[in-house]
Chains A and B, each alone.
Chain A
Amino acid sequence: MRILAATLLAALVAAPAALGASFTFTVNTTSPVTAPGVTLNGDDQTTTFTMSYTVAYTGGNNNAGWHVSASSTALTSGSATLPAMQVTTVAEACGGSCTTAPNNSVTWPVTLGTTAQEIYNAATTTGRGTFSLTPTFQVSYPANAQPGTYSATVTVTGATGP
Chain B
Amino acid sequence: MRRRLGLVAAAALLLAPAAHAARPTPSAVFGLRAVGNPKVGYFVYDLGHGATQSGAVIVSNVGTRTGTARLYAVDATTGATTGTVYVTDRAPRLQGRWVSLAQSHVTLAPGKHARVAFTVHVPRSAKPGQWVAGIVAENVVHRTSRRTKGRTGVRINVRDLTIVAVQVNVPGRAVASFAVGGITAGGSNGYQTLLVHLANTGNLLRKPGGTVSISNGHGAVERLPFHMDTFLPQTAIDYPLLLRKALAPGSYTATVRLSFDSAGGRARTTTAVRSFAVSNHDVTQVFTSAAPTKPAPGTTSGSSRSSTPWLLIGALAGAGVLVLLLVAALLRSRRRPSAESAAGAPIGSSPAPAADTAAVADLPARTEPEPPPAADMPAPADEPAFERADDDCRPYHYWEVAYDRGELGGDGVWRFPHRCRNCGLEVLAENVDDAAAQTARAPQPS
Pair A147/B22 contact, Cβ less than 8 Å:
no
Tell me if A33 and B156 are in contact (CB < 8 A).
Answer: yes
A155 x B88 contact (CB < 8 A): yes
A97 at the interface (CB under 8 A from B): yes
Q: Are B153 and A20 in contact (CB under 8 A)?
A: no
Task: State whether the Cβ of B84 lies closer than 8 Å to any Cβ in chain A.
Answer: yes
Hey, which chain A residues are within 8 Å of B229, CB to CB?
A: 67, 105-106, 118, 121
A162 to B235, CA, bound (A): 15
Residues of A within 8 A of B156 (CB): 31-35, 49, 72, 137, 151-154
Known contacts: A96-B20, A158-B163, A160-B165. The answer to whether A64 contacts B376 by CB under 8 A is no
Q: Are A158 and B162 in contact (CB under 8 A)?
A: yes
Choose among A31, A59, A61, A140 the residue that contacts B290 (Cβ–Cβ < 8 A).
A140
Q: Which residues of B contact A41 (CB under 8 A)?
A: 335, 372, 376-377
The answer to the question of A99 belonging to the interface, with a C-beta cut-off of 8 Å to chain B, is no
Per-residue interface assignment for chain A, residues 37 to 72, with 1 indicating a CB less than 8 Å from any chain B CB and 0 otherwise = 111111111110101001011111111100101011
Asked if A139 is at the interface of the complex by the 8 Å CB criterion, the answer is yes
Contact A62 B157 (CB under 8 A): no
A45 near B290 with CB under 8 A, answer yes
Taking a contact as CB atoms under 8 Å apart, the answer to whether A27 and B242 are in contact is: no
Q: Does A75 contact B (CB under 8 A)?
A: yes
Q: Contact: B24 with A34, CB < 8 Å? A: no
CB-based contact A44/B79 at 8 Å: no
Given the complex of chains A and B, what is the CA–CA distance between A106 and B230 in angstroms?
12
- Once the chains bind, are A42 and B32 in contact (CB under 8 Å)? no
Chain A nearest CB: distance from B137 CB in Å? 9
Q: What are the residues of chain B within 8 A of A95 when measuring CB–CB?
A: 20, 22
Nearest-CB distance from B59 to chain A (Å)?
10
B123 within 8 Å of A (CB atoms): no
Contact with A along B344-358 (1 / 0, CB 8 A): 100000000000000
> What 1/0 flags go to B18-36 for Cβ under 8 Å of A?
1111111100011111110
Asked if B342 is at the interface (CB within 8 A of a chain A CB), the reply is: yes
- Whole-angstrom distance between the alpha carbons of A61 and B412 in the complex? 36
| Cα-based distance from A51 to B5 in the complex (angstroms) | 42
CB B191 to nearest CB in A, in angstroms, measures 6
Q: Is B153's CB under 8 angstroms from A35's CB?
A: yes
Instruction: Check if A159 sits within 8 Å of B163, measured CB to CB.
Output: yes
Which one, B5, B21, B34, contacts A4 given CB within 8 A? B5
Asked whether B213 is an interface residue with its Cβ less than 8 Å from the other chain, the reply is no
Q: Which residues on A are within 8 Å of B, measured CB to CB?
A: 1, 4-5, 8, 11-12, 15-47, 49, 51, 54, 56-64, 67, 69, 71-72, 75, 82-83, 86, 88, 95-97, 105-111, 113-118, 121, 130, 132, 137-145, 147-162
| B-to-A contact residues, CB < 8 Å | 1-2, 5-6, 8-9, 12-13, 16-25, 29-35, 37-42, 60, 62-63, 76-77, 79-89, 130, 132, 134, 141, 143, 145-148, 150-165, 167, 188-189, 191, 205, 227-230, 242, 288-293, 335, 339-344, 372-373, 376-377, 412
- List 23 interface pairs A-B (beta carbons < 8 Å), by A numbering: A23-B162, A24-B19, A24-B60, A31-B156, A32-B157, A35-B154, A37-B150, A37-B154, A43-B339, A47-B154, A58-B17, A59-B17, A59-B41, A63-B41, A64-B40, A69-B83, A86-B189, A96-B20, A132-B22, A139-B154, A161-B134, A161-B163, A162-B42
Known: A45-B290, A138-B189, A150-B154. 20 other contacts (CB 8 A): A19-B38, A20-B38, A24-B19, A24-B31, A28-B22, A44-B340, A46-B290, A54-B21, A63-B39, A83-B290, A83-B293, A109-B191, A130-B22, A140-B189, A141-B152, A144-B344, A150-B152, A155-B89, A161-B165, A162-B42
Lowest 8 CB-CB distances: which A-B pairs, in order?
A: A161-B165, A56-B19, A44-B290, A20-B38, A37-B151, A42-B372, A21-B41, A37-B153
